[in-house]
Amino acid sequence: MKSVFSKITLIIAVGAAMLTASCSKEVPETYVAVKMAGIELKSSPDAKSETIAPASMGEIFRFTEFPADGWVKVRNIATGTEGYLDTLAFSRSKFPLLAPELAEQEVDEAYLVNTETTDICEQSLGWSFWKVGDGDDVRAFLSESTVYTDGRIRGYQTYYKGVARNGYLLLDEQVEYGEENGTKLESPIIVWEDIADHHGVYVNGKLYMPANSGSGFDTDDWGE
């Protein structure tokens, strides 16, 4: 009888050890943002493997496996697309995963700007975002301005609606000013919070920062 109890005790101990080992291998909640241009999400941990999708600067992914041999399997938090990223291609989040900062009411001019200059023109793109109601609904305003060296100026304004999520805004509908309903976008616009440095937001790989700010501006100061 003593031998039987000893065997049962051993089985329980081994089972508990296996369960502990299994739990210890759970992947912690880890978020990373792509930090350089030209990055691709791969089908396997090999630079020569098939490309699943491009990964633009600022896109946020979550670990689904532990890093190994310079690669890690990840999932895009907005699209759900999974694949492998080179561990040199991203920065880990330094802040809690929150939605990009939203104004409390409609904003009539862009407060996050990206400006590029070429030999023939200077192009400025600017965004503003604000809450609508008490839920997750948001509105967005995109301002585009191009000033040419010959003196010509062109400007456009576009409005969007969408929802706020932890880490990003998903804008899936273009609307006319003052209208509630508009046209669904074939490819939604994803506005990524800068989880690495809090300098602003990323859209299509471009960093938009508060107008007239230095690179050290923290979005926590927007409401002050």
Mean per-residue pLDDT of the chain: 87
In this prediction, residues 68-75 reach a mean pLDDT of: 97
Please name the amino acid found at residue 52: I
Q: Which residue has the tokens 């104004």?
A: 103
Where are the domains positioned within the chain?
25-92, 112-218
In this prediction, residues 150-164 reach a mean pLDDT of: 95
Q: Where does the pLDDT of residue 3 fall: very low under 50, low under 70, confident under 90, or very high at 90 and above?
A: low
What pLDDT sits at residue 100? Answer: 94
DSSP per-residue string spanning 127-175: EEEEE-SSSSEEEEEEEEEEEETTS-EEEEEEEEEEEEETTEEEEEEEE
Token readout for 58 is 């600022």
What pLDDT sits at residue 213? Answer: 58
Least confident of 34-38, 163-167, 177-181: 177-181
Least confident of 31-45, 112-126, 191-205, 210-224: 210-224
What pLDDT sits at residue 198? Answer: 92
Question: Highest mean pLDDT range out of 23-27, 39-43, 196-200?
Answer: 39-43
25-92: what CATH class? mainly beta
Please name the amino acid found at residue 119: D
CA of residue 32 relative to chain centroid, distance: 9
Q: In this model, does residue 53 exceed pLDDT 80?
A: yes
Q: In this model, does residue 102 exceed pLDDT 90?
A: yes
